[in-house]
Amino acid sequence: MAPSSSTRGVKRRRPNIDSDTRDDDTPIKSDPRVMAEPGSEGEGIPQDVNPARGQLALRVANGSDIAGRPDGAASQGPGPAGNGNLYTIIVGDEERTFPQSKFFESVWGDALDSPCFCCGLEFTLRPGDIPDHESPPGGRRILRSISLATSMTRVIQQDDDIRHPRHPVSTFRVVNRHFDCAGEADVVYLHISLNWHDSVASAKDLGSGEPVDSEPARLLHQTVADTLNALQAYDPGTRKVEIMHDYLSTPFWHPHLNRFCDKWFQSMKAPASTIPVWLAFHWHDVSSASLVGLYEDTSPQRFIKHLSKILESSWFRSLPARFDYCQTSRVLVISKDPVVFHASSLFKGLHDKTRSYLYGPPTSSPSSMPGKSKYTSIYQLSNRLIFNLQSWGTLPSHCLSIHAALHLIGYESGWERAEHIRALYDLMGLGAKLPNDRFLQVYRLAIWALEMGDPSPLLMIPMGATEPDPRAPWLRAYSELTWDLGLCQSLSRAPSIIRDGNLKARVEFVGTIMDWELFDVSENTTSDEIFCQAVSNILLLSSNLTAFFGAIDRIFPGYGNINPFNLDVDEWQKRRERAVSVLLKAWSDSGTQFSFNDPAQPYNDKQLDIAKSLVRAMELHQHGMMKYARLLYSFDEIRTRFKTYGRAMDGLAQIRCLQGHRDVFRLTCWETPKTKVAKVYRLPGRVYAHTVQAGLGIVVCEGRIIGRMTSGTFPPTCMGSCKTTTVLDLGSVILDEQV
């Protein structure tokens, strides 16, 4: 995808691709988990992807070798003053030469045009042939791909290692095909996704006819060369591999062709497409050492160091790159060295490994390291997008909603809001023109989700002090869209939440909020202090041990587990018995009244020691048979929201049910709930990755949604005996024609 004028690239120094080394100069070893991935049958994707060795030479008129020079710069050859080098590109079977000073005007104009390489017919598009609002017929879409101009003869040693190519590549070849003809060609296409370099993006924005420095032209050539060089190691079997690269595959200054080339990748990734296409990330600022180090370095500190380099790369901040990623699950990665990796091998298991290090036992987890807060953003990025190895097309149809689009694309503070919304529209296939009204832009997305039965627009947290819009007071998060509950885990599509022109949600009444206390969270708060605060509230209401442990399970849940500990019954019981012993000893030592029972007194060191003893007894810091340590995971959720939104929103609510029982629940509220007025409702049947079964709900005060609940299961004292299902009317909706 071509960047807008706001897309920022990265400058990089020329890498040494003759010697692949780590940051500490240790040679890289090929890891079969990373470097090999069986290809899809019949698609010609190579069985082994190994580091490419040697240089790719770009031919210029005076015989200079750009890639062969230490600084990557072409020497100045003879020719007209100011023209610099002449570059040769083969178009189809015709060799064409372009002066460096006119390079962009040529390749982004019509200089790479040709008849279709397959059928030999011309591309007949002319200005005005097809109205802007219509898509061209398949035969009129243009696909421009790039390959090596000469086939590579490899020297295969006894160990089947790939050495220097016997013949250097002279230049590359551009091939134009009709979209329909491309499907008939025996070719596997690789779409190269990269964050544009600053100078190349600036050259594009200047427009045709403006003078352009020689550096962008050289950099464009070199970038394409690096990509082709890395892919020399490919063995496509019976099918040829060609790349589609934004730098050369889209004629940006050729208006009546540009808009039809711009959609080729979206068309090719469609389920009905018969054209085999893979996506390749080109990471200019991530070395292969960091990628391989994810497997070879086992210490948490080094693992997090490598992971940080990857997740802090410019690619992850690029909206067009993330949008590309969402289009396909067939993905390769090209490092800056360059070395090629299969994403499915490279990232398999890293999502759980990241969480294991971040939420594991204190003795081995970065959670116990100084500066733990820096890992919050690492977890947020690894929690979505790339390590999940999910794409829009692989999700069940009932999950294809706004929450999934936000989960896959994410949000970065530097993105242009309109571009972010447009990407969401395109991903979800809405295709409508964006309204000028910022609120209505998001409103359309929300209505589309609610009609599918997806309540995620009701659960999104507003950024800052976003005031309700009188047209739809229920939609609070419309200034900046964020989503932190993960993908939908429900097994089927829910009924529409919009009925008869009104927003009507079928809910279960949980109870009325009788008291509310925010967690005392700050940059220096520890998980033990959060647990201590929770215990002090629970003990005020819990009349028995069953109620006490039930509240612990609601506030610090084990997500996705059969029981809160995901342990066998005997081990579960042993941990509870140890916790009971801690409580009984505390009661005995404190005399007639347990010291936690005075809410007017802040917890002291003795209370904190008791809380730590309970954590150890219940092993809340440990994984056990769970994926995540319960206390650390819940604590990071609370602190992440504090850091993201700049204020504490998570707290403890005393809720009274219809039968008069009071129990403690954990809620997230962006407005302070009015006690004895605000009510909590459960949304039955809907589950997201970071909610628990039968625990998702909303907080409503005076007709407005002011908060949400993610783990509000029925208390053991209730067990659903007072469950009442009702239809909650949250107001009218604007008809689409009014938008």
Give the model confidence (pLDDT) of 193-207 as tens digits. Answer: 888 888 888 888 877
CA 690 to mean position of chain CA atoms: 16
pLDDT attached to residue 180: 76
By the 8 A CB rule, do 225 and 282 touch? no
Q: What is the pLDDT of residues 128-138, one digit of tens each?
A: 444 444 444 44
**Whole-number Å distance between alpha carbons of 582 and 589:** 11
SS3 681: strand
Residue 312 has pLDDT above 60, yes or no: yes
- Read off the pTM: 0.74
- pLDDT tens, position by position, 560-614: 443 444 456 677 778 888 888 888 887 777 654 455 545 555 567 788 888 888 8
With beta carbons less than 8 A apart as the criterion, state whether 99 and 207 touch.
Answer: no
pLDDT, position 450: 93
CA–CA separation, 448 and 453 (whole Å): 9
Half-sphere exposure of 12 (CA within 13 A, CB side): 27
Residue with the two structure tokens 């009971």: 580
Q: Which two tokens stand for residue 344?
A: 């499915």
The 3-state DSSP class for residue 333 equals strand
Residue 460 has pLDDT above 90, yes or no: yes
Percent of the chain at pLDDT above 90?
Answer: 15
Pairing of strands 331-334, 277-282: parallel
What distance in Å separates the CA atoms of residue 669 and residue 275, rounded to the nearest whole number? 48
Q: Give percent above pLDDT 70 in the chain.
A: 67
pLDDT band at 155 (very low <50, low <70, confident <90, very high): very low
- Bridge partner residues of 189 (DSSP): 242, 277
- Please report which helix (H) or strand (E) contains residue 168, including its range: none
Res 4 pLDDT > 50: no
Range among 41-45, 154-158, 238-242, 535-539 rated most confident: 535-539
Token pair for residue 512? 């009325």
Report the range out of 44-58, 382-396, 482-496 with the highest average pLDDT: 482-496
- pLDDT band of 236, cuts 50, 70, 90: very low
The residue among 125 and 16 whose pLDDT is bigger is: 125
User: What angle (nearest 5°) sits at the alpha carbon of residue 364, between those of residues 363 and 368?
Assistant: 65
| 580 φ/ψ angles, rounded to the nearest 5 degrees | -60, -40
The SS3 of residue 318 is coil
Lowest mean pLDDT of 24-33, 390-399, 429-438, name the range: 24-33
pLDDT on residue 545: 83
**Residue 438: its pLDDT value, please?**
86
* pLDDT > 70? residue 45: no
8 A C-beta contact, residue 453 and residue 495: yes
Whether the per-residue pLDDT at 58 is higher than 60: the answer is no
What are the tokens at 682? Answer: 């459960």
Element (H, E) at 429: none
Average pLDDT, the chain: 72
The predicted structure's pLDDT at residue 699: 98
Encoded tokens for 726: 């009702």
Residue 575 has a pLDDT of 80
pLDDT at 175 over 80: yes
Place of tokens 């400058």: 11
∠ CA(720), CA(726), CA(727), 5° rounding?
A: 145
pLDDT at residue 224 above 50?
yes
Higher pLDDT, 624 or 297: 297
Q: Is the pLDDT of residue 10 over 90?
A: no
Look at residue 479 and give its three-state secondary structure. Answer: coil
Higher pLDDT, 574 or 14: 574
Decide: 505 and 640 in contact? Cβ < 8 Å.
no
Any idea which of 30-34, 245-249, 279-283, 305-309 has the lowest mean pLDDT?
30-34
Q: Name which of 10-19, 99-108, 566-575 the model is least confident about.
A: 10-19
Q: Which of 300-304, 376-380, 687-691, 732-736 has the highest mean pLDDT?
A: 687-691
Q: What are the residues facing 506 on neighbouring strands?
A: 727
- Asked if residue 655 has pLDDT above 80, the reply is yes
- pLDDT at residue 683, as a whole number: 94
- Please report which confidence band the pLDDT of residue 514 belongs to, taking 50, 70 and 90 as the band edges: very high
Q: What one-letter code names the amino acid at 240? A: K
**What is the pLDDT, as a whole number, of residue 89?**
87
Six token digits for residue 489: 């885990």
